[in-house]
Chain A
Amino acid sequence: AQSVAQPEDQVNVAEGNPLTVKCTYSVSGNPYLFWYVQYPNRGLQFLLKYITGDNLVKGSYGFEAEFNKSQTSFHLKKPSALVSDSALYFCAVRDMDTGRRALTFGSGTRLQVQP
């Protein structure tokens, strides 16, 4: 079975500071990994994904994520947080190899950036 863990319900960071939102996953094969962001009263917006290749993935709005196979992690990062980054962030995984077609999401991490 595939699963995703986002261990922090909320992350607080001051504007201008670096931010990290953590994600670990479990799959039996190789993972497709995604980050989505949800602003209040909106649907989910795609930020970035890892399929294969370079472990450092760059995405929208200055976000990046690092795929670490040994630690089964895919943490989301940004060098300098903005107040407008405050939102709910979801990590998601799909197992490439089992043929299962579902995308499994984590429970979400609320990012609060203080001015």
Chain B
Amino acid sequence: EAQVTQNPRYLITVTGKKLTVTCSQNMNHEYMSWYRQDPGLGLRQIYYSMNVEVTDKGDVPEGYKVSRKEKRNFPLILESPSPNQTSLYFCASSPRVQETQYFGPGTRLLVL
């Protein structure tokens, strides 16, 4: 089944403890992206990747890192999480940047 998977789905952590949220797609898509969803703000793009080893900042990249070493994986790294990073995170992918994005199920993060 063609899908975007994210792990973990739920995570509670404490301020400053490094964490990684994994994202994987099995559709051989070139474009991958991370969003955060906050009430009243919709989805805001954190980082995106046009292809392997090509990443760039979205609208809200501060406090986040990404890497794209393989086409299928696009992990989101929070080196030192803070409470303002408490949010619902979505990974998405598409064949190319201009095409429809397919979203993962989301990761709900709480930073205490």
Contacts and interface: CB of A to CB of B under 8 A. Distances in A.
Interface stretch (B62-70, B76-84, B93-101): B93-101
Interface string B11-53: 0000000000000000000010101000011111100101000
B42 A32 contact: no
B106 interface: yes
Contacts of A43: 4, 90, 103-106
A102 B43 CA distance: 11
Contact of A103 (B33, B40, B105, B106): B33
Nearest to A99: B97
28 contacts: A6-B42, A32-B98, A34-B100, A42-B106, A43-B90, A43-B103, A43-B104, A43-B105, A44-B90, A49-B100, A51-B98, A92-B43, A96-B98, A101-B48, A101-B50, A101-B56, A101-B97, A102-B45, A102-B48, A103-B33, A103-B101, A104-B45, A104-B59, A105-B42, A105-B44, A107-B40, A107-B42, A108-B42
Interface of B: 4, 31, 33, 35, 40-45, 48, 50, 56, 58-59, 90, 92, 97-98, 100-106
Query: Is the contact region of chain B dominated by helix, strand, or loop, or is it mixed?
Result: strand
Query: Which 7 A-B pairs give the minimum distances between C-beta atoms?
Result: A43-B103, A105-B43, A107-B42, A105-B42, A44-B103, A43-B105, A102-B45
